[in-house]
Amino acid sequence: VQVVESGGGLVQPGGSLKLSCAASGSIFSSYDMNWYRQAPAKQRELVAGVSSDNIRNVANSGKGRFAVSRDYAKNTLDLQMNSLKPEDTAVYFCNVEIGSHKYWGQGTQVTVSS
C-alpha cells in the first residue's frame, strides 16, 4: 500500500491550505484514513479522519477550522484547513489503517508564519 500526501506549504496566519492524500496498491478490504501531524519536539497527534463507514472525526484543535472529506472511489482523503494559526505548523502525515496494519505517507510540511 502506498500513501502519498500533497498540498503543504507556507501560509500566513489566518490563511487556508488544502492537503490531499492518495492511497494505492493492494487495498482489498475496508480501511480508515486519517491525517496526523507532528511539530518539532512534539508527539504525533491525530488531526482528522474518516472511517471505512464514513464516520468523520476532527480533533478539538481543528474543530470549526478544519474539514475532512473522503472519496471512496478514488481512495483519497482531503483536509481543508482554514483560519490557520502558527501553532498549526507541523509535518502532516496521511495514514491508512487496514485492520492492525498502518501505512504512512512521507509527510508534507505546513508552515504558518508571517
Residue 68 and residue 79 in contact, taking contact as beta carbons nearer than 8 Å: yes
User: Model confidence over 52-63: pLDDT tens digits?
Assistant: 999 999 999 999
**Closest Cα partner for 110 from 71, 53, 62?**
62
DSSP, res 96? E
pLDDT of 27: 76
Which three-class secondary structure state does DSSP give residue 88?
helix
**Closest Cα partner for 13 from 93, 111, 108, 91?**
111
User: Model confidence over 12-31: pLDDT tens digits?
Assistant: 999 999 999 999 987 777 89
* Residue 108 pLDDT greater than 90, yes or no: yes
pLDDT of 80: 98
Burial degree of 41 (CB within 10 A; 0-12, 13-18, 19+): exposed
pLDDT of 29: 75
